[in-house]
Chains A and B, each alone.
Chain A
Amino acid sequence: MQLFELRGRSHHADKAFGWITIAAAGLVLVILGLVAASMTQRALPVLEKMGPDLFTSSKWSAAEDHYGLLAFLFGTLYTAAIALVLAVPVSLGVALFITQVAPRWLKKPMVYLIDLCAVVPSVVWGLWGVLVLSQHFGLGRSFLTAGIILAIMITPIITSLAREVIETTPLTDKEAALALGATRWEMICATVLPHSKGGLVGAVMLGLGRAMGETIAAALVIGSALGQITANPFAPGNSMPAVIANEWGEADDLHKSALIALAVTLFALTIVVNLLATWIVQRGRRHA
């Protein structure tokens, strides 16, 4: 009798919990949809005026009412790429050091320190970039300066996630490798990295998303040059979120529409990156 009552109650609770989660997920989707729809709607005027030129032109001039966002798209991808190239090896190295090499007494303080770096406001990193990298080290405002600042900002995030993923490697796998006469590095390559592959890709993609979306730090150090598409890392440039932050204040109607088009493009880009990441992670899982 008591058993029946118990089962009945937990059954109801399960059902209610199921509905709540579905409702929450639905709500998130609805909000995302509304945001995308209202933004896209406001981006339509500039799309009507510019046509495909909006995406293929790198000329951006409020005076001539000509808006092409290619250079900003380039700037966003280029600085994010620089940031990844710098941040990924450092993050992986630090994560491996903390999890596999560091003595116990050093682990906690290091984890704490890195998590602390992750909460430094981006405007602080941006100003530090201006003062130290641009002025003191003479890097000026450029793709490289922005890339370095973004790298510093995403390193703690990637490190933190990578550390958590790496720590899930089963001890039995690691011991199996060591018991066969593997060195620590061989053990890492044979067990830790293959095991964590998917999660590591996810961590890097999250860092990438963060780097692409970062506004204020990039705006401070990238140089705000218009129409710049060049592989020269020392050249000043611009990125999508930085342009929006810089120009929104004094923009008229079509200009505003163009800035919103930038935002929608950035939004789409981050969604693509995330889908790609999910796909890579799942593919990695299937092959493991």
Chain B
Amino acid sequence: MAVAQPRPRPSNPRILVEHRSAAAVEDTPVVFEIGDAAVYYGAFRAVRDVSLQIHEKQITAFIGPSGCGKTTMLRALNRMHDTTPGAKVTGKLLYHGVDLYGPQVSAVEVRRRIGMVFQKPNPFPKSIYDNVSFGPRVNGIRDRAKLDELVETSLRSAALWDEVKDRLRTSALGLSGGQQQRLCIARTIAVEPEVVLMDEPCSALDPIATARIEELMRQLKSQFTIVIVTHNMQQAARVSDRTAFFTAELDSKNDQRTGILVEYDATAKMFSNPADERTENYITGRFG
């Protein structure tokens, strides 16, 4: 397969990964082992044949054109589909070797370990303090001092402490969009999860706020496994260790567009020398 000429445009994500070597990504333990997974909304199969492994303390990015099932796949990882009427997940989804959808597994416990940050900042209409302490509280922490400490460390980890430490008791809805999103990250890590799923966490933010959150992700990587959905290929190239490229294919039998996983590899490899032509076209902007 021919390697395309690197483009001089600074926006070309390929440039961002050039300094990394393709073999540099470490083989940390596997957190998610996904095999032939599919997700249905009623009779509609939104995504199919997804097989990939997500590694511990790394950032894995899901990229691909709109409607290819990135959000759908991400939500399958912490059983968020349980609350969608008619949604069904099939295939192998193991978390540290345990079937996420096994009969003994509690969705509540799954979500406590696998947190999620949503596309649109969605703080509760409560105070900043109550937003961050909500998770620890529902998980049984009542001790005031411990809660105070968790709120502070979480807000510090989310790079928000200095901006809000004097107004912890004021409504979270008074924060800016970027601050709200960092609050949502703080709220998620206050539960001390093992994995943080992020669905386009920066899509509502300006470039400065985006840069802060990317910086944050790089720091959080030392403690958490992160999976991020993004439309911004530069972002995927900048922050992720591994990248999964999804696309939607028209099924000629029933005229439905179903998402598939095209290619999954180290980010440096994906952006410099992808194996599949569709990936190549997508990351160079010739498609989607």
Give the B-binding residues of A (Cβ under 8 A).
Answer: 103-104, 170, 172-183, 186, 190-191, 194-195, 288
Contacts and interface: CB of A to CB of B under 8 A. Distances in A.
B111 interface: yes
**Residue of B78, B80, B134 with highest tally of chain A CB at under 10 A:** B134
Interface in B80-104: 80, 83, 85-86
**Residue of B108, B113, B118 with highest tally of chain A CB at under 10 A:** B108
B187 A180 contact: yes
Contact of A191 (B78, B113, B120, B124): B124
B133 to A, nearest CB: 11
Contacts of A183: 108, 138
A146 B58 CA distance: 67
Given A104-B85, A172-B118, A180-B187, A195 B138 contact: no
Contacts of B80: 175, 178-179
A176 B191 CA distance: 13
Given A181-B109, A181-B112, A176 B83 contact: no
Given A104-B85, A104-B86, A186-B138, A179 B124 contact: no
Contacts, number: 68
B201 interface: no
A178 B134 CA distance: 11
Contacts of B113: 181
A183 B137 CA distance: 12
B135 A181 contact: yes
Given A104-B86, A183-B138, A190-B134, A178 B111 contact: yes
Nearest to B135: A180
Nearest to A107: B85
Contacts of A176: 118, 122-124, 184, 187
A181 B124 contact: no
Given A180-B111, A190-B134, A175 B83 contact: yes
B39 interface: no
B188 A180 contact: yes
Contacts of B116: 175, 179
A6 B98 CA distance: 64
B125 interface: yes
Contact of B108 (A182, A190, A195): A182
B115 interface: yes
A195 B122 CA distance: 14
Q: Main secondary structure on chain A at its contact with chain B?
A: helix
A183 B134 CA distance: 12
Contacts of A181: 108-109, 111-113, 135, 138-139, 191
Contacts of A194: 125-126
8 contacts: A175-B80, A175-B122, A177-B134, A177-B138, A178-B83, A179-B80, A179-B118, A181-B113
Contact of B122 (A104, A172, A182, A288): A172
A195 B173 CA distance: 14
A267 B118 CA distance: 50
Contacts of B122: 170, 172-173, 175-176
Nearest to A179: B116
Contacts of A195: 125
Contact of B83 (A104, A174, A288): A174
Contacts of A178: 80, 83, 111
A189 B277 CA distance: 50
Given A104-B85, A172-B120, A175-B118, A180 B125 contact: no
B125 A179 contact: no
Contacts of B111: 178-181
A106 to B, nearest CB: 12
A249 to B, nearest CB: 55
B199 to A, nearest CB: 10
Given A180-B135, A181-B111, A181-B135, 10 more contacts: A175-B116, A175-B122, A177-B124, A177-B138, A180-B111, A181-B109, A182-B108, A190-B124, A194-B126, A195-B125
Contacts of A172: 118, 120, 122
A172 B83 CA distance: 12
A126 B123 CA distance: 49
Contacts of B134: 177, 180, 182, 190
B191 A180 contact: yes
Contacts of B184: 176
A233 B118 CA distance: 53
A186 B179 CA distance: 25
A170 B191 CA distance: 22
A194 B135 CA distance: 17
B118 A182 contact: no
A179 B86 contact: no
B117 to A, nearest CB: 8
